[in-house]
Chains A and B, each alone.
Chain A
Amino acid sequence: MGGSGIVILGAGQAGAWAARTLRSEGYEGRIVLCGNEGELPYERPPLSKEQLLPQPKPMLHLFSGDDMVSLGIEWHPGGAARRIDRATHTVSLDGGVVIPYEKLIVCTGGRAVLPKVPGFHLPHVFTLRTLADARRLREALLANPRVMVVGGGWIGLEVAASARGLGCAVTVVESGPRLCGRMPIEVVPAFLAEQHARRGVALRLDTTVEGVCEGEGGACRVSLSDGTSHEVEVVVVGVGMCPNDGLARDAGLACDRGIIVDDRCRTSDPSILAAGDVTALSCGDGRMLRLESWQNAQDQGIAAAKSALGQEIRYRPLPHMWSQQYEILLQMAGTFDEAHAAVMRKASDDKFTYIEVDERGVPQAVVCANAPRDFRQIRAYIAAGQSLDRTRMEDPGSPVGKWAMAVT
């Protein structure tokens, strides 16, 4: 076994960016990257979109095998990590492999939640987290099945859009009163509900699945809480993800639905950092930020690597996420608060910009539908704490670049 270096557990987006960043920041020591999937590191967003098409483009990998070799990264794919031993500073993988670490970066992400509903074990029921999951679902969608999507959040809605785009009959079942239940604002759920309904997706809100059983001819029968039952060929469950913090909890690291980290990506052990979906970022005021986003996986992975190298970083991210459904690009940033004043700029049924500003006129949150230029500028205003001129914001003719409040 080689000497001690930096070990990264989890070879998804956060782990891959951590590994890349260690080298690009000049670290020349041993880097070991361990993943439990057999794939080279990849980004998950295409799994609910391009990868569900009948002939998808090859998956983009964050490293090729050659990159790993030329960067001197030891690659351990396809095996689970079994134990973090903080006393001996080692990690144990499947097959008895034991790897020493000076620093450990945990990027084990999360797994799709599959609630204990009768029949959810049936082969008609799919979850979507990995490339292997996407391949299975793609196969099933080729036969033009009737699809029931359980969960009206981001994964559910993207899958619904993809399936509908393939011509499948689609029903979305959501347990709450509206879509995207974790968003505290009405604008986005209302917009998405209209976009999906317009394209023929059936939406059933305030409804849960009571059970699934085998039906006739390859179909299954889904019973809903509203008393109805439905014959479909495919059920996709997208009701959230559960962080893979089990190893950390077993090792005694502080966890709270995720590995607790500070603004330097440090866990409760000074030799161990964490990044990505597995983390709960402690904001210092008692709040925990659980950012399950592409942006956080990348940025926190990069920050954790820099922190592991002793750099004085502060990772205090502005929440930032996006979703693509049909031809819609929805981009969101910041923290929504119903106490803030809201400005809605609706260019058409398919394009809008929504901004929330605090009492000083400083924007705190933004949602853009098909308005990437607005989004970019407003996100910059939020990051800069730039107060904005309310009159101009409300004037549809006023370009977003001219909204800064004049300094008098």
Chain B
Amino acid sequence: MTMSETWVVACQGDALAEGEPVSVTIDGVEIALYRVGDIAFATDGVCTHGSAQLCDGFQEGYEIECPLHQGRFDIRNGKALCEPLVEDIRTYPAKIENGNILVKMR
């Protein structure tokens, strides 16, 4: 499995609204995409705690709350912000360009 080292188009810009995270799979990895204003963010899609999808959670500004146990991460740096989380989540560089959301996989 090769990981893209360049920017990959994850989805169209108008498919991603603030407060409504979107799930995509890139190179076999589940990713959650978020928007705050004109900026996009990307994290692993599955919570580090249980098996819930963060895109089904609740985004408030720069925080995403897992729907299952209400753990919250900062989408900018993946930091676990509260119980029950004990592990940060992986983030990926993301940007909006030419109307698309791009993600850089490492």
Contact = CB atoms under 8 A, between A and B. Distances in A.
A376 interface: yes
A329 B57 CA distance: 14
A62 interface: yes
Nearest to A41: B86
B49 A50 contact: no
Given A60-B86, A294-B69, A376-B67, 15 more contacts: A43-B84, A45-B50, A46-B50, A50-B51, A57-B51, A60-B50, A62-B86, A63-B86, A67-B86, A298-B84, A302-B83, A372-B68, A373-B58, A373-B67, A376-B70
Interface residues of A, number: 19
B56 interface: yes
Residues of B contacting A: mostly: loop
Nearest to A62: B86
Interface in A45-83: 45-46, 50, 57, 60, 62-63, 67
Interface of A: 17, 20, 43, 45-46, 50, 57, 60, 62-63, 67, 294, 298, 302, 322, 329, 372-373, 376
10 contacts: A17-B83, A43-B84, A46-B50, A62-B86, A63-B86, A298-B83, A298-B84, A372-B67, A373-B58, A376-B70
A247 B98 CA distance: 67
A261 to B, nearest CB: 20
Contact of B56 (A43, A60, A372): A372
Contacts, number: 28
Residues of A contacting B: mostly: helix
A64 to B, nearest CB: 9
Contact of A329 (B68, B83, B86): B68
Interface in B31-87: 49-51, 56, 58, 65, 67-70, 83-84, 86
B65 to A, nearest CB: 8
Contacts of B50: 45-46, 60
